Structure 1
Amino acid sequence: MLAEVIEETRKFAEKKGLFEKRVLMLFSGGKDSSLALYILKEAGLDVSALTFFHRWSWRETLNWAMRFTKKLSVEHYLVDITEGLLREAVGRKGPVCINCKKVMLWNAKWFALNSGFDVLAKGDNANDKIIGALLDQCEGDIRLCEIPRMGIPFFRPLIKYPAEIVEELAEEAGIRPYRMYEHARRRQWREGCPLQYIDKEEIVTPQLMDLAYKVNYEVSKVARRKRVRVSVRVPSFEIMCWDCDEETLEEVKSIIRRFGGKANAPAGKAEK
């Protein structure tokens, strides 16, 4: 199936004149963007990778991403967006992800235009399609979106494939990204960064961002060892876990106590 997808991507790129373009993949190091980057490289496109990181990014996943692009022989740019994220997020209510995506999107646009790239690429799959979102307003084949207000087209080679197919394709390609064993927002693997676990109605501060990182980094050690998915919201210290047993919950609660939280709530939740 992977060979068919690569060939289909190659034919589409040829039809749209993408072989004469420089393509910049927004590359998080997750399964979707890794697979999309792999497919574009194997299809023969002139593709490079762009990864944004900030002070609270997982260094383990960033290291994996750099090894992956090196193995593919793909040029890889790293851009620190800490300053922009602080400017957009601090003083506002969570979730931080909304502000972070805004910073990344506009930084990607200007980085691409100033560095001689013609097309931006993303790893969105069919499950990411949201009616009314910017990239779902394009006409024709939604794999390539010409959006005047952005000033640069977006190429999404996986947008017609549902998440389960993407999983199968990634497995066939041997793509197994480093996992922090986060709880994430969906049952499917969808890791990101610890800032997504700041409580929704909290006013974001640098101190709260630091707490989200420190607590969840320690929790991730337990999660990886136990092979379960755990994250902790802050400052409520709510434990979110797939398939946790009592022993795992007790370990997580002990971490919460080290950071000043109370761990005497019912299993699965710890109070401030």
Structure 2
Amino acid sequence: MLSKAIEELKDFASREGFYEKKILLMFSGGKDSSLALYLLKNAGLNISAITFIHRWSWREPLPHMLKFTASLGVEHYLVDITESLLRNSLGKKGPICIHCKKVMLKNTYWFARINGFDIIAKGDNANDKIKGALLDQWGGDHRLSTIPRIGIPILRPLINYTAEEVEALAKEADIRVFRMYEYGRRRQWREGCPLQYIDKEQVIKEEYFDLAYKANYEISKIARKHKVRMSVLVPSFRIMCHGCNEKALKEAKTALEGIKRRSANASSGKN
């Protein structure tokens, strides 16, 4: 299955003239973007990776991401978007991911333009929202489109593969990603960053960024210990868990009580 996927990508790349192009992949370090990078590199394309970080990003996955790109011989850029994220999200309604994705895409566009990249690549698969209503507006092959219309074409090498097929391909390629044992946002295991757990109905405040990181960092340690998937929404402190047992939940509630007290004391000190 993996060799077939690489050959199909080679054929597509030849037809579209990709071998004369520089491609920049938005690389989160997750299974989708890791597989996309693997396929593009093994298809012989001129591919580089860009990863966006901010003050509240998980620290733990980064060494694994750098090791993976180094093993492929791929140039890997790290860009800090802390200030842009704050500027474009504070005072707005959630979810934070909507605002963050806009910041990342805009930064990718300008990075690509300044550094001579011709194509932006993403790890979207057939289960992602872009497939269907949005890409149906595109008359050509969904793997290469100008949607969203940012001025640079976007390559999606996985867009015709379901999440289950991506899982199988990644397994065949022996791609292993670092897990924070988050609850994830979808049925399949989809991790991200702790800011996604700010309650959607909240007006976004910087204090929620700090709280989301602190609470979910503690929760992730408990989840890893019990081999369950768990996260907590803030400021509601509602626990979400796949496969939880009473012991894990009890430990999580105890940890969160401590975080709530410290947060309340800090707020009182400010007032």
TM-score range, shorter chain: over 0.9
String of CA shifts for 1:158-213, please: whole Å, max 9, x gaps: 00000000000000001010000100111211000000100111111111100000
SS of the counterpart of 1:25? strand
Q: 1:28 aligns to what?
A: 28
Structure 1 unaligned blocks of 5 or more: 262-272
Distance 1:73 1:109 in 2: 23
> What pairs with 1:166-177 in structure 2 (closer than 5 Å)?
166-177=166-177
Letter in 2 for 1:217: Y
Q: Percent of aligned pairs with the same residue?
A: 62
TM-score (norm 1): 0.93
- After superposition, the CA RMSD in angstroms is 1.2
> What pairs with 1:108-147 in structure 2 (closer than 5 Å)?
108-130=108-130, 131-133=132-134, 137-147=137-147
Q: 2:267 aligns to what?
A: none
Deviation at 1:132, TM superposition (A): 4.0
String of CA shifts for 1:16-60, please: whole Å, max 9, x gaps: 000000000000000000000000000000000000111111111
Deviation at 1:93, TM superposition (A): 1.6
Q: 1:149 aligns to what?
A: 149
Letter in 2 for 1:96: I
Letter in 1 for 2:43: A
Deviation at 1:92, TM superposition (A): 1.2
Deviates more, 1:53-62 or 1:29-38: 53-62
Distance 2:148 2:161 in 1: 26
Aligned length: 260
Distance 1:196 1:26 in 2: 18
Distance 2:216 2:233 in 1: 9
Q: 1:7 aligns to what?
A: 7
Deviation at 1:148, TM superposition (A): 8.5
Select the structure that is richer in helix.
2
Q: 2:95 aligns to what?
A: 95
Distance 2:75 2:182 in 1: 29
Structure 2 unaligned blocks of 5 or more: 262-271
Deviation at 1:147, TM superposition (A): 4.8
Distance 2:239 2:35 in 1: 31
> What pairs with 1:175-254 in structure 2 (closer than 5 Å)?
175-254=175-254
String of CA shifts for 1:221-242, please: whole Å, max 9, x gaps: 1111111000000011000000
Distance 2:89 2:136 in 1: 25
Letter in 2 for 1:192: G
Distance 2:151 2:197 in 1: 33
Q: Is the Cα–Cα contact under 8 Å of residues 129 and 136 in structure 1 kept in the other structure?
A: no
Letter in 2 for 1:175: I
Indicate how the Cα distance of structure 1 residues 60 and 183 shifts in structure 2: closer, same or farther if over 3 A, else same.
same
Indicate how the Cα distance of structure 1 residues 136 and 224 shifts in structure 2: closer, same or farther if over 3 A, else same.
farther
Q: Is the Cα–Cα contact under 8 Å of residues 9 and 43 in structure 1 kept in the other structure?
A: yes
Q: 2:266 aligns to what?
A: none
Indicate how the Cα distance of structure 1 residues 207 and 176 shifts in structure 2: closer, same or farther if over 3 A, else same.
same
Q: 1:264 aligns to what?
A: none
SS of the counterpart of 1:99? helix
Distance 1:83 1:136 in 2: 35
SS of the counterpart of 2:231? strand
TM-score (norm 2): 0.93
Q: 2:37 aligns to what?
A: 37
